[in-house]
Amino acid sequence: MGQAPNATPSTVARAVSKPNPAAPLAGLPVPGLGRVVEPTEMKGSAAIIRSLEELGVKDVFGLPGGAILPTYDPLMASETINHVLVRHEQGAGHAAQGYAMVTGEVGVCIATSGPGATNLVTAIADAHMDSVPMVAITGQVNSAFIGTDAFQEADIVGITMPITKHSFLVTKGEDIPRILAQAFYLAGTGRPGPVLVDITKDAQEKPTVFSWPPVMDLPGYRPVTKGHAKQVREAAKLLTASLRPVIYAGGGVQKAHASRELMAFAEATGAPVVTTLTARGVFPDSHEQHVGMPGMHGAVSAVAALQQSDLVIALGARFDDRVTGQLASFAPGAKVIHADIDPAEISKNRTADVPIVGSLEEVLPDLTEEFARRKAEGLAPDLSPWWATLNRLRETYPMGFTPSTDGALTPQHVIQRLGELTGPEAVYVAGVGQHQMWASQFIKYERPHQWLNSAGLGTMGYAIPAAMGAKVGEPDRVVWAIDGDGCFQMTNQELATCVINKIPIKVALINNSSLGMVRQWQTLFYDGRYSNTELNTGADSIRVPDFVKLADAYGCVGIRVEREEDMDAAIQQALEINDRPVIIDFIVSKDAMVWPMVPAGVPNDAIQIARGMTPEWNEED
Residues carrying an active site annotation: 89, 151-152, 201, 517
b/e per residue 167-194 (b: at least 16 CB within 10 A): bbbbeebbbbbbbbbbbbbbbbbbbbbb
CA–CA separation, 289 vs 270, rounded Å? 7
Q: Give start and end residues of each alpha helix (H) in 403-544.
A: 411-422, 434-442, 463-473, 485-491, 494-500, 516-525
| Closest residue by Cα to residue 176 from 149, 151, 146, 198 | 198
Is the separation of the CB atoms in 323 and 274 below 8 Å? no
Please give the Cα distance from 526 to 549 (Å, whole number). 35
> d(Cα 5, Cα 368) in Å, to the nearest integer?
32
Q: Quick one: DSSP state of residue 534?
A: B
Nearest to 253 by CA among 202, 184, 318: 318
In whole angstroms, give the CA distance from residue 482 to residue 507: 6
Beta strand pairing status for 207-212 and 37-43?
antiparallel
Phi then psi for residue 278, to 5 deg, are: -85, -5
Residues 108 and 93: their CA atoms lie apart, in Å, by: 8
Extract long-range pairs of 219-223: CB within 8 Å, 24+ residues apart: 221/186, 221/190, 223/189, 223/190, 223/191, 223/341, 223/359
Which residue(s) pair with 558 in the sheet? 583
Look at residue 83 and give its three-state secondary structure. Answer: strand
Q: Among 124, 96, 146, which Cα is nearest to 196's?
A: 124
Give the burial string for 419-443 (b: 16+ CB within 10 Å, else e).
Answer: beebebebbbbbbbbbbbbbbbbbb
A 10 A CB-CB count for 524 gives 15
**Sign of the CA dihedral running 518, 522, 525, 526:** positive
